[in-house]
Structure formats: structure tokens, C-alpha cells
A and B are shown apart, each in its own frame.
Chain A
């Protein structure tokens, strides 16, 4: 006998069983439909987030540990539609704080109705909002909360407005050393990279290695995130006090001389360390997006390394070094400048700067009075083309110095084996015309004269700090183009000529060696003699050089002569430099040594 309600129980059991079977069939069926992949992808999304974590970019210090480039916090401002219930307040708050955003646009984005069927629940309004602006937003949110509580309403309300911290590059010194540092274009994190200067040259080291990490939503799977090492930090050879002094001096020099642009470099000839490098135009890397306005056209970012020019008579230092070192001349060798003109291959005349004849002169006199005809004679007849260009190549002309800055320019050296070379080049090259060099090439070459014949590799980075270890950059000798005796002799010659000339470059208490340069500027219509490039290179103290200063002013209007424009700038620099470098005057130094 069947129990009561047996049929009903069987019916319910069958329905439940069929339902279960239907569910199982549906589960199996879904796995073979086109939605299966989508569902799998979504299920993976729900498991957590794969995130590319960027390490903090390395800090850049000057040689004494002052920060030149670091990171600070900016905020990404976005709207999460899931939590928005008062788009008016959000639009008002955001547009009142950030001028460039539009009320109607923000209101439209924040209104769920106006978003329609879009699945996008979060979108970015703007990036890198300052900490101060975010603090204002927080204050506003607190005041809104108070009003809601007092009025027992749900508005005004900023819920749904989200700010997320993110690191951005900061240059606390502003313009200072910007031409050396370069900048970091951080707005787009995926494509951000260092541009120009140290930021570009050491981009890989500074950036560190980004890592993909998985952040699970399931708390059981949460583990401590891997330690992501920040990018390497760099200690520069730059001394920010010297750099500041150079930039201030350069600004004053441009105002005083009417020059279009200028460059001043201070280097340690013993090590090749660049202590300061000022170049115009100046630039604030904190606002790197204004780059195009400052460096329009082909304006180089850093003229000291990125601009080649005909240096003029400062190049005579190289010619004279070659003559003394090869033995074709001594300081007392004579040249008779009877006519004031030197004929190259009986075809091209070379004149002195004042078109005059200076009579019989020693080599020291040739340098003192900067006689073009004398130097042309040395190159053309004493050194001749093979020896002259061998020395030029030994001094590094025609190739990059290898300084650790991005965008170093190099103008190839025109050699006798090139088709474009003519015999006139040999004569004009001897006094720095018809040859293009960068200021850093000149500094590197002349560092050999100031450093016992050893030409040092110019460098900006003093040490690298990476993963708790500090690696120092050792000074490197690139070449020894001249002997120590030649270097000493030439330094003594140029010290003597500076003193005899009563140059405007002289600094009381210090013996300095130096040479002026005035170069005509090549144009499409030939050389212009009214506008010039004025330069000065000097080093000291002569007995044991601790610094080498190179000054280049483009197209000064106050005077066209290097001796009247660049030489006093050199003096201004050295007067402050000896204080900043703690170098006592020669007599006091001698007393200390004697004691």
C-alpha cells in the first residue's frame, strides 16, 4: 500500500531532479558556447588585478648631497560613477579648484543618466593635481558633510570623486642646472622617459625595473607585495653653489654685453669633473611641457655640449701645444711678421686681427698679441698638414668627448684626405676658423695643457647609488697628446702673456693662464666681421691648476673682441670661484706649503 501523498512526493522529487539535471546541462552547455571565453576572462578579472608597478625614479644630487631632482606626490582625479549622487557639487568643486576643467563637461561626465549604457564606471578627469588642491577638496568635503548633518539632507556630496596619489618628478632648484639635468616627461606613465641631459643619458638606471604583480581580491591569497627597488640615485660632480654663481654671472654677462646667448663651463682639469655648466636659454624642468616655447627651432638644449662653433683664437693654444710638443718651435723661436700678411699657397692671404704688421716676435709674443699670421706660419710651414692634424686628432677633435650627457654634438674634422679640404684650411684651422668644435671639446682638449699633458674624460656623474651600494666613477685619461714638459711650458707662456698684456682676465692674488678668442661667424654670404663669437679659456692657479674655465658669448654688441667681453666675465667667475673652492691666494698658499 502506497503511503499517503506518495504521488505528490514523487512528482515534487521528479521536478527537483529535472531542475537539477537542467542546471547541470546548462552548466555544461555554457562551457561550449561563445560566451565561455568571456566568462572565463571575467572570472579571471574577478580574481584580482595584474598591475605594473613602477619603481620610484632615482634621486639626483649635487656633489655635496643637495637634491637637484626628486619625486613628489601628485594626484589623479577621477569619478567613480557607482558612488556619485550629486554631480552638481562634484562639477562645482572640481572646476572651482582646477581652472582648465569645464563645469558642463564635468557635470556631463558625473551624471549617470548622461552616461547612458556605457559600462565605463570610472574615468580620469585630470592627473598630477597638487597636494594643496587635494587638501582643499578634503576640507570642502568635510564642510559638505557638516552641512548634510545639520540639514538632514543627502546633498551637497562629493562621493564618487576619487583622488589617487602618484609620484611625479620634481626639481626643487627650479631653473638651476636644468640644462645639465634635462627633464622627465612624466605625464604619460607608460611612455615617460628622461629627455636631454642626465635624465636621458641615465634613463635606464634612474627608472629602475618595473614589475608586474598580481593583487588578488581573495584575501586568502593575499601575500606581501615583492619589494620593488627604486631606480638608482646619482651624485653629480656639479657643485650647486658654483652652478648658481655661473648662471647668475651669465645672466649679468648677457645683459651687460648684449650677447644673444652664452655658455660658461668650470671643470677640474685633474679629474675631468664638471663643477658647473651654465648655458642659455634657461629652462624650468618643473614645467617641461613649455619646452617648445623655450627651445624653438634648432635651439640646442645645452650649448656647452650641443652646439658646435668656430672658436677663434682660443684654438691657438692647441696649435702652439702641437708646435712645442713636436719640437718645431720653442717659446723663444721667432717669426718675423714684416708685412702683416701670410700667403697660403700664394693664393690666399691671412691677416692679423688688426690688419697690422707686428715685426719680429717670439712664440710667446705671437700668443700674447694673438697673431694669426704667426700661427698660420706654424701650421703651414713648421708643423705641416700631417703633424698638425695628427695633433688635432690626438686632442680629440672630430669625435665626441663621450661626456655623460645626452645630445652631444660633433662636427667632423675636415682632413687633407677629404675632398672638401683645401690648403687654406690648414692655415685658418691654426687660429680656430674653418673648424667647428663644441665648448666641451675645447675644455677636454685644453685640460691636457692644464693637467701635465693628460686629457681627462669629462664627466658629470660622480657616483651611482644602487641597491644600497655606492659606485664611484673613476677619473679616466682619454689620451696624452702632449708631454708634461710641454704642458708646463705652455701654461707658463700663457701665464706670462696674460700678465704682460694686463688682461682684463687677471685676478688679484692668483697666477692664471689663459687665452682670448674672437671668431668671425660664417654665414651663407661668407664671414661676418661685425658680429663675432667671443671666448676665453683660462686655468689656474698656474703652478697647480685646480680649475679650468671656458666662456663663450655669442654675438655681443658691446664689443666684438674676446679680450673685452669674455675676459672680464672669466675674471668675474674666477673671483667667486676661488672663494667657493676655498683656494687661498698664491702667496698665502705658498706660506702654508712652506710651513
Chain B
């Protein structure tokens, strides 16, 4: 009898197989999920890296364009060019005896050239990167759910016809 009782508690072989297959599939799903997340993050990081490289290249191109345009502008406004244009338009150097002189209070003919941008008096205290990039997963979860529980999403109030 005892022998029969023991036999009654043994799992059927197909059940054992199903359990093992289930466990294996669970592991497989977990590995696939982790791999998927890893690949996704990696792909985003690689994509961001490439975008940074592209943007650096764009910055170089823009800086080069600015340099070229600045030079073109300087050439177009060169003293020789401006004098030729003035002569073509019929202008000539003033005769100081024929000029009419007016005193303009506050006018400084040799006003100082200011090329440096004005200094900012306020410094932005906004962080340069989002908190979610630096906080731990636990912090992020707790903060997100805390915010959601305190400020549940509300209707925008738009009327749909």
C-alpha cells in the first residue's frame, strides 16, 4: 500500500516536461526581454552618438560658412570698392571750407568700437540635463508614480462635436 501511495504523489511525466518547458520559456522570455531592452538602449545610444557626430559636422560647416560669408562681406565693403562706388555715384571728398559745421551735444565722432557682447548679469540655474538621466530606477519610479497619484491626468476641457 505504501508503495502505491508514493506512486500516487508522483507527477505525471508530461506534467514534469511541461513545467520544464515552461521554466525554459520563462527564462527565454526574460533573456529576450532584457536583450530587447539592452538592444533598444544601445541602439538609441548609438543613434544619439551618430547624431552628435552629425551635429558636430554641421557646426563645422556652419562655422566655415560664417567665415566665408564674413570674408565675402568684408571684400564687398573694402575701402577700394566703397571708394569706387562713391566715385561712380558722384561723391567726392569734402572741402572743409565749404562745409557747414554744427555742434551736436553728446556726439562723439570717435566713439569707441564695442565688439564684445554685453555681459549677462543673470545666470540660468536650470539644469542642463533631465533628472531622469541621472536618478536611479527606483527614484524614477517613485517620483513618476508620486506625481501621477498627486496630479492625475485631467481632461483638457476641449469640446468634441
B93 pairs with A576, CB closer than 8 A: yes
* Complex CA–CA separation, A59 to B79 (angstroms): 17
B67 pairs with A73, CB closer than 8 A: yes
A222 pairs with B49, CB closer than 8 A: yes
Which listed residue (B45, B71, B79) contacts A72, Cβ 8 A?
B71
Which listed residue (B67, B112, B119) contacts A71, Cβ 8 A?
B67
B63 pairs with A585, CB closer than 8 A: no
* Complex CA–CA separation, A585 to B46 (angstroms): 73
| Shortest Cβ distance from A585 into B: residue | B96
How many B residues touch the partner, as a band?
35 or more
Nearest-CB distance from A315 to chain B (Å)?
31
Nearest-CB distance from B119 to chain A (Å)?
7
- Among A6-14, A116-124, A167-175, A251-259, the stretch that binds chain B is A167-175
* Complex CA–CA separation, A131 to B52 (angstroms): 26
Say whether, besides A173-B78, A173-B79, A67 and B101 are in contact (CB < 8 Å).
Answer: no
A509 pairs with B96, CB closer than 8 A: yes
* Complex CA–CA separation, A588 to B99 (angstroms): 10
Indicate whether A465 reaches chain B with its CB closer than 8 angstroms. Answer: yes
Which listed residue (A219, A244, A465, A578) contacts B83, Cβ 8 A?
A244
B47 contact set on A, CB distance < 8 A: 219
Number of interface residues of A (CB under 8 A): 54
Most B C-beta atoms less than 10 A away, residue of A73, A172, A582, A592: A172
Indicate whether A225 reaches chain B with its CB closer than 8 angstroms. Answer: yes
* Complex CA–CA separation, A218 to B80 (angstroms): 52
Nearest-CB distance from A226 to chain B (Å)?
11
B53 pairs with A222, CB closer than 8 A: yes
Say whether, besides A73-B64, A244-B79, A588-B101, A170 and B115 are in contact (CB < 8 Å).
Answer: no
Q: Interface on chain A toward B: helix, strand, loop, or mixed SS?
A: mixed
* Complex CA–CA separation, A238 to B119 (angstroms): 27
| Shortest Cβ distance from A579 into B: residue | B94
8 A Cβ contacts from A157-194 to B: 165, 167, 170, 172-174, 176
B119 pairs with A222, CB closer than 8 A: no
Say whether, besides A470-B114, A509-B96, A170 and B71 are in contact (CB < 8 Å).
Answer: yes
Nearest-CB distance from B73 to chain A (Å)?
8
A463 contact set on B, CB distance < 8 A: 113, 115
Indicate whether A524 reaches chain B with its CB closer than 8 angstroms. Answer: no
Say whether, besides A63-B113, A465-B116, A468-B119, A70 and B71 are in contact (CB < 8 Å).
Answer: yes
Indicate whether A61 reaches chain B with its CB closer than 8 angstroms. Answer: yes
A225 pairs with B116, CB closer than 8 A: no
B96 pairs with A172, CB closer than 8 A: no
* Complex CA–CA separation, A165 to B97 (angstroms): 53
Indicate whether B132 reaches chain A with its CB closer than 8 angstroms. Answer: no
B50 pairs with A66, CB closer than 8 A: no
A61 pairs with B93, CB closer than 8 A: no
B42 contact set on A, CB distance < 8 A: 220
Nearest-CB distance from B129 to chain A (Å)?
12
Indicate whether B56 reaches chain A with its CB closer than 8 angstroms. Answer: yes
Indicate whether A386 reaches chain B with its CB closer than 8 angstroms. Answer: no
As a 0/1 sequence over residues 43 to 86 of chain B, the CB contacts with chain A under 8 angstroms (1 = contact) are 00111111011001000110111011011001101111001000
B61 contact set on A, CB distance < 8 A: 165
Indicate whether A240 reaches chain B with its CB closer than 8 angstroms. Answer: yes
* Complex CA–CA separation, A462 to B110 (angstroms): 12
* Complex CA–CA separation, A221 to B53 (angstroms): 11
B70 pairs with A70, CB closer than 8 A: yes
Say whether, besides A468-B119, A592-B101, A595-B103, A172 and B49 are in contact (CB < 8 Å).
Answer: no
Say whether, besides A584-B99, A585-B97, A56 and B63 are in contact (CB < 8 Å).
Answer: yes
Binding site for B on A (CB under 8 A): 56, 59, 61, 63-67, 70-73, 131, 165, 167, 170, 172-174, 176, 218-225, 233, 235, 240-241, 243-244, 462-463, 465, 468-470, 472, 508-509, 576, 578-579, 581-585, 588, 592, 595
8 A-B contact pairs sorted by A residue (CB < 8 Å): A56-B63, A66-B79, A70-B70, A222-B48, A225-B56, A233-B115, A584-B99, A592-B103
Binding site for A on B (CB under 8 A): 42, 45-50, 52-53, 56, 60-61, 63-65, 67-68, 70-71, 74-75, 77-80, 83, 93-97, 99, 101, 103, 109-110, 112-117, 119
Q: With A67-B71, A174-B78 given, name 7 new contacts (CB 8 A).
A: A66-B77, A67-B74, A222-B48, A465-B115, A579-B93, A582-B109, A585-B97
Q: Which 4 A-B pairs have the closest CB atoms?
A: A219-B49, A172-B74, A222-B49, A470-B116
